[in-house]
Chains A and B, each alone.
Chain A
Amino acid sequence: MNITLRINGKQESIECLPGEMLTEVLRRAGHFEVKKGCDTGNCGACTVLVDGKPVLSCSYLAVRAEGKEITTIQGLADEAKKFAAFLTAEGADQCGFCAPGFALTVLAMKEEFSSIPDEAQIRHYLAGNLCRCSGYEGQIRAIKKYLEAQHAE
């Protein structure tokens, strides 16, 4: 079947099978910035935003995304670069495989909270993003500093 998706503001017509998940369809359309990690709904590497909400694209039926706004890390490149600078400064970027999903979840959290979330709230919101390099401490420091800087702007 053929579906039309709006990806990062651009309309794209894509062939897909009825039971296919969004990760497969996005990557087939050339969006390799959407990482395929565990592929079982656990690691958060494949996170994208659907109508502004973070979802695991490996567990999201592709046909259901028709007519919705899909945002990958490329769609928020400017904002993601700002956040990435904080990750690098804290030594938290490491191999980088989890970074696109991680950054999208952080950006979604920033939009969802009206004030700066505390550390417990940050850890809770990011519980679905696994990183096997860093141990999270650097990332938590980077997120806090990024959110504080954004709030100050």
Chain B
Amino acid sequence: MEILKYACPQSKDEAFRLIREEHGTAIGGAAWLRTNTKTIALGVDLAGLGLEYVREVGDHIEIGAMTTYRELETNPLLRARFGALFETTVSHVVGVQLRNIITVGGTAAGRYGFSDLNTTLCALGAQVVFYPDQTMDLAQFIERGAKVPFLLEKVLLPATAKGTYHQMRISENDFPIINTTAVWTGSEWRIAVGSRPAATRLCPKAMALLGADLHPSDDILASAARAAADELQFGSDIRASAEYRREILPVLVRRALMEVRE
């Protein structure tokens, strides 16, 4: 990718102005720039905005858009509130060196189909905050996108939840063939599925079957897992066929649900 002009604003106001008024393109982790052939007239680097943080604010957790995957993997607050969920979600993404570069905001803004992280964020009911004052469900944003250029400032998570991530890959560091995260929020179940290979979607029918019980029977878990596969669309690509994805998914969903239930 070629960047004709580069700016590294030191305030969110300036970054937002460059994106909205001068048609700048926000640059997050920038790891994909190397393999992209686009030309960017104005690259707006978000590295100067102080958006690297994981912190508790009121009844939720805020993750700054420039927070790296490696930080998610090792952060003590996320570990305390979500167990190993974030570690297991991002730990297959190439190596430590790439995870020290790629960011939460870049992943959410990119709405990538192959993403491990977006699946877990959607299952947790994450919201994305666009500077200056718009908040939106990540799942909704991934489905619909944005109508105008935006500055994704941070991601909001509930203060705690119990969840687990399962995926299948051809090789350890490849993109997933299919992935899923199941979460018990404390009052309801949430299931998200990604790498279909299209972007992450929630599974409302499967979630409804599980009800508001942390300990549903094995039969209900199996029905919910099957329902998740039935209610989603799958596609074929070089990694797997749609049929294969549809057959594999219920196994992963059932494993994830069983793990959370226990």
Contacts and interface: CB of A to CB of B under 8 A. Distances in A.
Interface of A: 1, 17-19, 21, 39-42, 44, 47, 50, 53-56, 58-61, 63-64, 105, 108-109, 124-129
Given A59-B30, A60-B30, A105-B97, 6 more contacts: A18-B5, A19-B3, A56-B95, A61-B30, A127-B172, A128-B95
Interface in B72-96: 91, 94-96
27 contacts: A1-B6, A18-B3, A19-B1, A19-B3, A19-B6, A19-B33, A21-B33, A41-B34, A41-B98, A42-B94, A44-B95, A50-B100, A54-B100, A56-B31, A56-B95, A59-B30, A59-B31, A59-B98, A61-B30, A61-B33, A61-B45, A63-B45, A64-B47, A105-B95, A109-B96, A125-B95, A127-B172
A63 B6 contact: yes
A41 B35 contact: yes
A60 B31 CA distance: 6
Contacts of B47: 64
B2 interface: yes
Nearest to B40: A19
Interface of B: 1-6, 8, 27, 30-31, 33-35, 40, 43, 45, 47, 70, 91, 94-98, 100-101, 172-173
B15 to A, nearest CB: 15
A130 to B, nearest CB: 9
A63 B43 CA distance: 11
A116 B253 CA distance: 36
A78 B112 CA distance: 42
Most buried by A among B31, B34, B47, B173: B34
A124 B73 CA distance: 12
